Structure 1
Amino acid sequence: MYNKILLPVDLNHKQSWDKALPTALNLCQTYQASLHIVTVVPDFGMPLVGGFFPREYADQAKKTISDGLKAFVAEHVPKGVKVQRIVADGKAYEAILRVARKLDVDLIVMASHKRKRLEDYLLGTNALRVVQQSKRSVMIIR
């Protein structure tokens, strides 16, 4: 049923993967699917803000995050699961959707947690936008 499963994680927030990772692993093992773990380096939003950082800052940030993602996979993903690590950049939901499209995944498994704004209470902003805009199936884990 599933061949490629995308799991967005934020390495700095355990709630982004604590429940979603076991679910994604279970699905991968059940369907012999590959797991594609993506973490997103946020952009600065405006070129003016980015101008205050050294040119190599973005490359250093991506390398640090890539190293962290490699360690995360080594610690949390069993050897029998085929896994790909992806570091994307931009707004989280846009990067998740872009990676899902590029990899042609069958399913996006992601966590949701409560936010402060009323409209985000049920899903959270990134999960809500992924669900609204994705052409792929999305499984939200609470």
Structure 2
Amino acid sequence: MYHRIMFPVDLAHLGVLERALQVSADMAAHYKAEVCYVSVIAGTPGQVARSPAEYEQKLKAFSEEQRQRHGQRVSTKVYISADPVADVDDLLVKAADEVGADLVIMGTHLPRKVDAIMPSHGGKVARQTDVSVFLVRPPRA
């Protein structure tokens, strides 16, 4: 049913993605699908890497760790943006098409009042693509 799962990842926030990462690994195993890890980053130095090339190397190393841990096929794609916060939704929609995803699995937060003003990335991706989107919330405290 699913052949390529796109998983947006921010290497600076891996701790909050653990549950979603497990879901994507489980789905990939069930459907024998590839997981494509996608990041949207600035072209300037950040807390994870000093350059886009270094970030891409770290994303590839992360994907390889996931492959070894879960036994799934993996790939990566990095998008560079002058303003990642403003562009992330559009670039994730573009990425879903470019990587040939037929499922997007995203970690998300518990609903908050501010979501009425600033909707979640997952909601925007779901509205703007014809790809299925699976939002994984963190466990309740």
Give yes or no for TM over 0.5: yes
Please say which of residues 62-71 and 15-24 is displaced more in the overlay: 15-24
Within the alignment, does 1:106 sit opposite 2:99 as a pair? no
Structure 2 CA distance for partners of 1:41 and 1:128, relative to 1, 3 Å: same
* Counterpart-to-counterpart distance in 2, 1:118 and 1:102: 28
Identity %: 27
From 125, 133, 140, the counterpart of 2:135: 140
Within the alignment, does 1:117 sit opposite 2:114 as a pair? yes
Within the alignment, does 1:129 sit opposite 2:124 as a pair? yes
TM-score, length of structure 1 as denominator length: 0.76
Within the alignment, does 1:82 sit opposite 2:78 as a pair? no
Structure 2 unmatched runs, 5+? 82-86
Match of 2:54 in 1: 64
Judge conservation of contact 2:122–2:133 (CA < 8 Å) in 1: no
Look at both structures and tell me which one has the larger radius of gyration over its CA atoms: 1
Match of 1:47 in 2: none
Structure 2 CA distance for partners of 1:38 and 1:102, relative to 1, 3 Å: same
Deviations 1:1-47 (A, max 9, x none): 1011000001001255211111111111111111111011147xxxx
Match of 2:89 in 1: 93
Structure 2 CA distance for partners of 1:85 and 1:65, relative to 1, 3 Å: same
TM-score, length of structure 2 as denominator length: 0.77
Match of 2:84 in 1: none
| Partner AA of 1:24 in structure 2 | S
Judge conservation of contact 2:105–2:133 (CA < 8 Å) in 1: yes
* Counterpart-to-counterpart distance in 1, 2:41 and 2:64: 20
Query: How large is the RMSD of aligned CA atoms in angstroms?
Result: 2.5
Structure 1 unmatched runs, 5+? 44-52
Structure 2 CA distance for partners of 1:62 and 1:126, relative to 1, 3 Å: same
* Counterpart-to-counterpart distance in 2, 1:120 and 1:25: 32
Deviations 1:80-129 (A, max 9, x none): 311001111231111111111112211000011156724168xx531221
